[in-house]
Chain A
Amino acid sequence: MRVLIPLPIALPLLAAGLSMALHRRTQAQRALGLGVLTASLAATVALLVRVHAEGPIAVHVGGWGAPIGITLVADLFAAVMLVVSAAMVLAVMVYSIGSPRTADHALFFHPLYLILAAGVSSSFLAGDLFNLFVAFEVMLSASYVLITLGGTRDQIRSGMTYVVISLLASTFFVTAVGLIYAATGTVNMADLAGKVGDLPAPVRDALGLLLLVVFGIKAAIFPLFFWLPDSYPTAPTPVTAIFAGLLTKVGVYAIIRTQTLLFPSDESGSVLLLGIAVATMVVGVLGAIAQDDVKRILSFHIVSQIGYMIMGLGLFTVAGIAGAIFYIVHHIVVKTTLFLVGGLVENATGTGALRRLGGLLHRAPIIAVLFLVPALSLAGLPPFSGFVAKLALVQAGMDADRYFVVGASLVVSLLTLFSMTKIWAGVFWGTPDEEPPLESARGDGRLSVPRLMVAPTAALVAISLAVAMSAAPLYDLSRQAAEGLVERTPYIQEVLGP
């Protein structure tokens, strides 16, 4: 069954090559993409079942054994992330096919999208730091092109910021890999887990902080998030949705992986992380309140939500990390859905600016319903998935006596709800202050909502409701994943041998 591990990387990569060859035949590209992404979703589900039953599985690519060769490792955390990301990639693919005004027709959209999917999967599976760097680069290179697809002036401007800041982070990453290799003589994470502990404390802290900065830039934590709200909204909707759902979370995944495996907390480390968490939450939500465009509000919320995940990690208890994992799963689904809904609004009216929108509750009630569920979930109202995720984090925080952080997270939830009502009041109630740009959107008539765009969005809403309904088993799963992260030995033994 070890063959399952490389599949989520190999399938999309091979299909990307094939899709490139088919570049004038959009229909064939679509069929290929859908088929391959469905297959890789099935493979990840099988992998999750397997890992859940038997513990972590490792594959040594090319037969070169652990600390030297390339190792792919799937533990429970990685498997959960793989399943969620594969589902999102597939749903957004359907959405991009169904949407009349997006980049689906653009040259090389499909190959790039598949390469992005492969890069995300291989980041989750990477078993050594350098391989993680390569996986990041695969994912980012595809994202550089996707974010500037179309080549309009705004896209070029924000794309530049994005590319330059990501490239800077990559350079730091290479530096960190070099320094870690110089200090320990290995880049394999399981091997490092033992060797980093033997380093003098200052060296260890310096390396840990350098990696935190590298992944912090990708994850958009405070104070390294400035590039995000500016660059995400300009891309085509499916691209923004998949970036918002997955890319920053890959950064969070890398932070959790390295901080738990390589630098398990002492007291000072977790205080730093908790401080970062509170600052990220508060600054992100305040930024969101100040915006007046749907996609920009949502982009600032990505930053704010990252804070909750870092908060779970910063507690450094099993319950905290379990809460963080549950939160990531909930967040990926809900955030992707919200951006897709934002895309539906833009598709129907031609704009996302709140002052040019209004009254969509009567003119496109389906969009209103699709928005309401994830919006309330994001704010953390019961009975939605956000409530369960936040409850888990708050309880973990109380158990660890971190009352200040818990208080801050609750206040931020309230502010999140406020900014969601701002979108609700601006888009769905009232009348527009200015005419919307699309001719067809003026007047009071029903707005057009393509079925193939609604279907995947509705499916994601259903998934987020299912997350809330099956909260108990899912939380148990997150808890087991967190125990695996804290315990470390099963992971290390699987990679290096007993």
Chain B
Amino acid sequence: MSKVILTLKRHISAPVHLDTLTPDRVCGRKVTELANEEVWEGNRRIKIKTLFNIEGNIADKPDDIALEIIGDLSRTRSIGYKMTAGTLNIRGTGGLYIGESMSGGNIIVEGDAGSWLGSNMRGGTIEVSGKTGNFVGAASRGTTKGMMGGIITLKGNAGNEVGAWMNSGTIRILGNSEMAPGIHMTGGTIHISGDCSGRAGAQMKGGKIIISGNMQAPLPSFSFEEIREQTKNEKDSVRGPFYVFSGDNNEDGNGKLFINVERNSQLKWYEKFLEG
């Protein structure tokens, strides 16, 4: 495993697009080549070396590369764009579109991350230790097929519309989620360990959402099915018991919502549907 470390050496004041910083795009290059490569900062082309100090050496194969980027990267875009292999470690606040359209490799963000993390993801893994913005694992505007594979794990809280138009893959949120996770989802699994602000699975056609914390109510276009002791988040077992709802009926959907029984006493009245 060869390590390449980029340390931010100055303040970023305009958007910086770093879509070329992935193990597969840097592999086989010399450090000086990488340092002289140009990226957009606002409307100017700048050399990477004016932004980062670069140390380490770059292996020939992306699988063998561990790319580390250190600093406050909140104004950057697209780190890890279309990544296929290797490891990318962001130590600091990540920016927008981290890991967009990636299909392999591992991204770790040791800090918060911006919106559109893992947008259009196809494979690989992303892990974020802090909080994330909106549209985690979502489709881009106007498209009806979003995330197609891969695993996203968020240790903190997530914003709105996690997994919008999701088709396949897994998103695990250890903290809370804001509104409408899984909106328009057609497949895949979203597991929220904490609470959800509401509207989980809005207009979903398929897929599964598990809420281990509290959500005030499912949407009125969902039907109560049963209580289940546990369910699966892909291969892992998740202990319930859960109220299980199917929907979104407005889309003739057969998605499933699992809402934890103990944390949601306000949903106890649904149990009347179990009688007879």
Q: Do A and B bind each other?
A: no
